[in-house]
Structure 1
Amino acid sequence: MPVTDKTVIHTWKRISLVEEQVELPNGKTVTHTTIAHPGAAVILPIDENGHVVLINQYRPSLKKWLLELPAGTLENDEPIEVCAARELEEETGFSASEIFPLGQVTPLAGFCDEIQYLFVAKNLSKTSRYQCDDDEVIEVLHISLAEVEQMIINGSISDAKSIACLSKAKLCGFI
């Protein structure tokens, strides 16, 4: 599909709003607006007791707290595994000696090109580094898998990337 006449409408951090003329497979040309995103890592940390390390993060877009797995956006040409390790440490204060890739999901394909890469992190070690971004307010929680699953069922956990990563990890036999 050829792309022509691309215009960046707005840029914020590493994300851009892009409008472009796109030729569809049926030959029709349309104006399409996309959020251009460099991709992100989503990490399912499992502690020595088999508990899931979740974060309770205040999300200004929703104006509320959200229970979710640690995750973050790729920086520049950063390898995705490096991003996963960095975000795990920044958001939870843990590093992992084992990180297993689970594949990827496309969360908002109708208007965003973001790909989220899923990981399981095991053999966690506490680090001295716990450095959130300026716009991040985060609490770190250790919750049993049974409780996490119940929280998904009752709606206490509604974050799609977290539910997808937990589901994929369970289907792949990691939990």
Structure 2
Amino acid sequence: MSVWRNLGEHTAYENRWVTVNMADVELPDGRHLDHTVIRLRPVAVATVVNEANEVLLLWRHRFITDAWGWELPSGGTGEGEAPAVAAAREFEEETGWRPGPMRLLLAVDPMPGISTSHHRVYWSDSAQRIGEPRDGFESARREWVPLEKVPELITRGEVRSANAVAALLMLRHLRLG
């Protein structure tokens, strides 16, 4: 079996959101290499699909990639916070809608070759409008988008986030067959 072994790490940078470590990795042939490891707290992602098979999405700009796209509300889980609770909290803060009971849809590791970022995506089939989003600055607008349009949005590059692509395709499959 071909296994890379982490023989130890030292921290190159750290703040409350991220720790960047350098790992001493031994390859199966005995060679060593320095490998960057980005350690992040778990991410909770949320979505709601209504009776019309529409999903509430955020239209937002990401300065890092200088790109606009549709995304799902998401954020880091707080210390000791259950991921489903964090997902519901993020959804409410970013949309102004309070989701019904959250169910786990999927879990993904978007960049397992370099990062410990683990994303758990939750969904609900109901939500109640409670007002304006507390974190409205996070998106330019929020819209209910038909699940049937998901492949077209992805093809046009309007859904760029890996967790959103995976979740929306899974929901489309589950709800529309």
TM class, shorter-length = 0.7 to 0.9
Measured in 1, the distance between the counterparts of 2:29 and 2:172 equals: 39
**Structure 2, unaligned runs of 5 or more:** none
TM-score normalised by the chain length of structure 2: 0.84
Tell me which of 141, 144, 162 is aligned to 1:142.
Answer: 144
How far 1:85 moved relative to its partner?
Answer: 0.7
Written as runs of structure 1 = structure 2, the 5 A alignment for 1:18-33 is: 18-24=21-27, 27-33=30-36
Written as runs of structure 1 = structure 2, the 5 A alignment for 1:1-175 is: 1-4=5-8, 6-24=9-27, 27-128=30-131, 130-132=133-135, 136-171=138-173, 173-175=174-176
**CA contact under 8 A between 1:89 and 1:130: conserved in structure 2?**
yes
Secondary structure of the residue aligned to 1:98 is coil
Letter in 1 for 2:162: A
Cα RMSD over matched residues?
2.3
How far 1:49 moved relative to its partner?
Answer: 2.9
TM-score normalised by the chain length of structure 1: 0.85
Letter in 2 for 1:3: L
Identity of aligned residues (%): 24
**CA contact under 8 A between 1:91 and 1:138: conserved in structure 2?**
no
Count of residues paired in the alignment: 172
